[in-house]
Amino acid sequence: MRILSFETATYSGGVGLLTEDTAVFAGPFDSRSSSREVLTAANRLLAENDYTLSDIDLVAVSTGPGLFTGVRIGMAIAQTLAFSGGSKPQLTGVSTLEAVAMLALDTQSDLQAGDAIVSVTDARRGEVYAALFEVVQGKDALELQRISEDIVARPELIAGLLAKHPTDHRALWLTGDGALRYQDVMPPSFGPHVRLIEATQKPLPLAVAEIGRRQMLAGKTVQPGALRPHYVRRPDARPALLTPSATEIA
């Protein structure tokens, strides 16, 4: 399977190309990058690896939550490519916070089944986006299971929720640029079971591609016109971080 991925919802975004024997990345892009710059990088990535759009089976794109302009740019490019290719490539949207958690899962060898991952990304204006995932044992490898909806809140609120979180999980891992930026209010000092992932070696667009691959195998692709951005509203009185999600996201 050949997957072209776009992640423009965060400050560490870019374009990825994932195949059976290739995993390459172009970026990161400046948050002010235009759609032309992103598309140029994608075309260059394909050309450098001797592919054209007709060779691509799937376009996977990060749909947020994240930078509003970045989300729109990535989605517009992905939709255009899927439209122009007819029945191929197919298209799927990927949760940005799930991609951040997948990046941690792919790069942290200490993670085990029963751990939890909290994805925290910078929402600007002194706020963060956050979501909670559990690491579970799949048929052949560890997988993610979403156990909360996405929320946007001040980092102090997230820290308060984490401090009160039940210690049912073996370890609680914080990851993402929001966790790093606000680590002074979200430190691992809540207890030995809370750990901060300070860096990951794998580019985020490749995590988007990996989730996209799994979604395509599960039949979770969409028509270009049905792709929707995921913008998160402020949480209600009861924060959603500890509220089970209504639907499972693969």
Residue type, 24: V
If asked whether residues 127 and 146 sit together in one domain, one would say yes
Other CB atoms within 10 Å distance of the CB of residue 241: 21
Domain assignment present for 161:
yes
| Element containing residue 4 per DSSP (H, E) | strand 3-7
Q: Please tell me the distance from the alpha carbon of residue 7 to that of residue 59, in angstroms, as a whole number.
A: 11
Q: Which residues contact 94 (CB under 8 A, 6 or more apart)?
A: 5, 60, 61, 62, 63, 208, 211, 212, 215
CATH code of residue 122: 3.30.420.40
Q: What is the pTM of this model?
A: 0.88
Domain assignment present for 154:
yes
Secondary structure percentages of the chain, helix, strand, coil, to 5: 35, 25, 40
Q: For 191-208, what is each residue's pLDDT tens digit?
A: 667 888 887 778 999 999
Q: What was the pLDDT predicted at 190?
A: 57
If asked whether residues 206 and 90 sit together in one domain, one would say yes
Q: For the residues 156-180, what does the mean pLDDT come to? A: 82
Residue 236 zone, left/alpha/beta (φ > 0; ψ -120 to 50; rest) = beta
Q: Which residues contact 206 (CB under 8 A, 6 or more apart)?
A: 5, 16, 18, 23, 25
If asked whether residues 152 and 180 sit together in one domain, one would say yes
Q: Please, are residues 88 and 3 in contact by the beta-carbon 8 Å criterion?
A: no
Structure tokens at 78: 């992905």
Q: For the residues 128-137, what does the mean pLDDT come to? A: 95
Q: For the residues 72-94, what does the mean pLDDT come to? A: 90
Domain assignment present for 239:
no
Per the model's pLDDT, the better-predicted residue between 29 and 113 turns out to be: 113
Backbone Cα Rg of the chain: 17
Residues 224-227: contacts with CB under 8 Å, at least 24 apart: 224/78, 224/79, 224/80, 224/82, 224/83, 224/91, 225/79, 227/61, 227/63, 227/75, 227/78, 227/79, 227/91, 227/93
Domain assignment present for 249:
no
Is pLDDT of 170 > 60? Answer: yes
If asked whether residues 105 and 90 sit together in one domain, one would say no
Q: Which structural domain, as residue segments, surrounds residue 206?
A: 3-95+202-231
> What domain count does the chain have?
2
If asked whether residues 162 and 108 sit together in one domain, one would say yes
Q: For the residues 101-123, what does the mean pLDDT come to? A: 93
